[in-house]
Amino acid sequence: MDVGVVSRSFPQLNNHETAELLSKNGFKWTELCFSQTDSNYWVYNGHSDMKNLTNEESIKILDTYRNEGVEVTAIGVFTNLLETNEKEAEENLAYFERLIEIAGINQVPFVSTECGFIPGKRGVNADTYEADFQRIVENVKHLSKIAEKNNVSIAIEPCVLDIIPSAKRMVDFIDQVGSVRVKVLLDPANLIANNSEEDMFAYLASHIAYFHGKDRKVNDTYGRAIGDGDINWPLFLHLYHKYTENVPFIMEYVNIDNFCDIRDRVIHFDEIASFQFK
End-to-end CA distance of the chain: 16
Tell me, rounded to whole angstroms, the distance of Cα 251 from its chain centroid: 10
74, pLDDT greater than 80: yes
Domain 4-276: give its CATH superfamily.
Answer: Divalent-metal-dependent TIM barrel enzymes (3.20.20.150)
Name the DSSP letter for residue 7: G
Name the band, by pLDDT with cuts 50, 70 and 90, for residue 9.
very high
Residues present in the chain in total: 278
8 Å CB contact between 62 and 18: no
What is the mean pLDDT of the segment spanning 248-272? Answer: 98
Tell which residue, 66, 64, 38, 62, has the closest CA to residue 52.
Answer: 38
pLDDT score at 48: 96
pTM exceeding 0.95 = yes
pLDDT digits (tens, 9 = 90+) for 25-66: 999 999 999 999 999 999 999 999 999 999 999 999 999 999
